[in-house]
Amino acid sequence: MLNFNYSIPTQIFFGKDQIQVLGKEIKKYGTKVLLAYGGGSIKKYGVYDKVVGILKEENIPFWELSNIEPNPRIESVREGVRICRENQIDFILPVGGGSSIDCAKVIAAGFYYEGDPWDLVIRKAKIEKILPIGSVLTLSATGSEMDAGAVITNPETKQKLGIGHPNMAPKFSILDPVYTYTVPASQTAAGTADIMSHVLESYFSNNTGAYVQDKIAEGLLKTCIKYGPVAIKEPENYEARANLMWASSLAINGLIRYGKEAIWSVHPIQHELGAYYDITHGVGLAILTPVWMRHVLDDDTLDKFVEYGINVWDIDSTKDKYHIANEAIDKTQEFFTSLGIPGTLGELGIGEESLEKMAKAVTEFNGGKVGSYKPLSYEDVLDIYIKAL
């Protein structure tokens, strides 16, 4: 187990009607609010009315940034920064899924930076100070509600990049599983795949000895395997929605990564796809993950895949090791397709045309090799894209 510094500062208010704490919590950190959200779903299903009702009741002045994209764009960040500056806003309240929260995080950092916020994303400038944010979650997927990272897309440069800073973590997040009842099956499936991918990116690491962390990781994976299908079949099953929601936060808040080195592999490959094609993040991950697994399975990684197969998929431990490993990968892929997620990039209408450009971009941006488990070269990444077609 490697050394680590544990600090998960976000307060979570989890459960039914926890929205009631919103006014009191905001007032701890700010006086003027930017309410940031995506499409119309929060309006359609009443969450918007509830939040706005509370802000009015508590006499908290607020401005709105709406239409944040599913893959949030730098243009929305710029617009958010503009609104905050114009109105001397001192607190950002994203209401939605990871897209709104990610966008809010970078607005919060961009507020204190004089140049273009994109500079922060491409590391041209350093984040110095950040506005406080608090979130109301309506989608179980990215874990942005309890972590310190964000992913922003720049369609002009065809880049989708991660950015992080300890102070980007929300001060609080309100997680009411009931708010996810209206998430459609396809988004529930993609969210489940996203959670599982976050876990797998840390689980498959070259460090041994972080046993506690791996046991927690296996528990989160089993949670997704158990409740993903239930939430799709019974969208208003509280137990399923609650377990998925809490798993989404725990998957990426640091808990399973502490004590391990885990520079992610599949996410950067998917981010490049997301920059070229506006596909659902979790769908891309679900397609790429099994392909990546087959690519990195070899004598060095075999034991970890065997552990994965036995502990997560309950595969008979007396079988041949490669048999277990391959069965585990098959089961992973079958699980994703059983949720209704397309099995190939081809099904999304993606062809060969940009694969080389994407593979080049992702390896170059990552300093020549992608990920730390089996560092992937240009050829590796290209092979993964091709096999995923």
Report if residue 15 touches its own copies, rule: CB under 8 A.
yes
CB nearer to its own copies: pick between 247 and 350: 247
- The neighbouring-strand residues paired with 96 are 137
CB nearer to its own copies: pick between 173 and 333: 173
Helix (H/G/I), strand (E/B), else coil: 58: coil
Q: DSSP string spanning 320-389? A: -HHHHHHHHHHHHHHHHHHTT--SSSGGGT--STTHHHHHHHHHHHTTTSB-SSS-B-HHHHHHHHHHH-
Minimal distance, residue 11 CB to its own copies, in Å: 5
What is the DSSP-derived secondary structure letter of residue 1? -
- Which secondary-structure segment (H or E) carries 150? strand 149-154
CB nearer to its own copies: pick between 177 and 371: 177
**Contact pick of 78, 82, 158, 226 for its own copies (by CB under 8 A):** 226
Distance of CA 165 to the CA centre of its chain: 15
CB nearer to its own copies: pick between 48 and 172: 172
The runs of H, that is alpha helices, within 45-123 are: 47-57, 74-86, 98-110, 118-121
Minimal distance, residue 26 CB to its own copies, in Å: 16
Minimal distance, residue 74 CB to its own copies, in Å: 32
Report if residue 4 touches its own copies, rule: CB under 8 A.
yes
CB nearer to its own copies: pick between 1 and 368: 1
Report if residue 220 touches its own copies, rule: CB under 8 A.
yes
**Contact pick of 18, 71, 100, 159 for its own copies (by CB under 8 A):** 18
Report if residue 8 touches its own copies, rule: CB under 8 A.
yes
62-70, 82-90, 211-219, 260-268 -> range binding its own copies (CB under 8 A): 211-219
Report if residue 185 touches its own copies, rule: CB under 8 A.
no
Question: What is the rounded end-to-end Cα distance, in angstroms, of the chain?
Answer: 37
**Contact pick of 70, 229, 259, 371 for its own copies (by CB under 8 A):** 259
CB nearer to its own copies: pick between 16 and 123: 16
Q: How far apart are CA 321 and CA 309, in angstroms?
A: 10
Contacts with its own copies in 233-252 (CB under 8 A)? Answer: 238-239, 242-243, 246-247, 250
CB 179 within 8 A of CB 238: no
Report if residue 319 touches its own copies, rule: CB under 8 A.
no
Minimal distance, residue 137 CB to its own copies, in Å: 13
Q: How far is CA 372 from CA 95, 178, 325, in A?
A: 34, 38, 20
Minimal distance, residue 216 CB to its own copies, in Å: 5
With CA atoms as reference, report the closest residue to 136 among 39, 26, 40.
26
CB 94 within 8 A of CB 133: yes
User: What is the binding site for its own copies (CB under 8 A)?
Assistant: 1-9, 11-16, 18, 208-212, 215-216, 218-220, 222-223, 226-227, 238-239, 242-243, 246-247, 250, 258-259
